[in-house]
Amino acid sequence: MITKIDHIGVAVVSIEETLKYYTGMLGLKLEEIEISSGNGVRTAIIRIGESKIELLESLEPDGVITKFIGKKGEGLHHLGLEVSNISEALEELKVKGAALIDKVPKRGAQNSNIAFLNPKEPKVLIELVEKKKAE
């Protein structure tokens, strides 16, 4: 079901300010910045080998990232795990009794399909990610 760690999501107040550290201090390269208005976030994607760091900045004053930062401060927001088939993964997790935030996939960064699991049991928000199939 899970094939690898796709990314680590980091909630930030300002992508531009935070990028200075990742690109300047760590020498990493920004791959792209994407706006996902449906999810209320602006995402900066920094690739490291096969995985990524996604810096998440809220587009809305009352968005989920804004609320997260208000409660916990900037930092680790979620762990993105790649799956080969998100619908099958969600069904398998549902049968096993996992608490799903998203019962059906939605559009995520880089044209992927995503769904979130409730963080109560795993102690971290988990995002399932299915990459766009090559056409």
Enumerate domains of the chain plus CATH numbers.
2-130 (3.10.180.10)
Among residues 111, 97, 59, the alpha carbon closest in space to that of 129 is found at 111
Q: Give tens-digit pLDDT for 71-127.
A: 999 999 999 999 999 999 999 999 999 999 999 999 999 999 999 999 999 999 999
Residue 46, burial from CB neighbour count under 10 angstroms (0-12, 13-18, 19+)? buried
Whose structure tokens read 């994607």?
A: 45
What is the band of 134 on the pLDDT scale with cuts at 50, 70, 90?
Answer: low
Asked if the model's pLDDT at residue 26 lies above 60, the reply is: yes
CB atoms within 10 A of CB 4: 11
Over the stretch 28-85, which tens digit does the pLDDT of each residue have? 999 999 998 888 999 999 999 999 999 999 999 999 999 999 999 999 999 999 999 9
pLDDT at 82: 98
pLDDT number for residue 2: 95
With CA atoms as reference, report the closest residue to 121 among 104, 92, 91, 101. 101
Quick one: pLDDT at residue 38? 85
Phi/psi for 97 (5° steps) reads 95, 15
Q: For residue 71, give the amino acid letter.
A: K
Q: pTM value?
A: 0.92
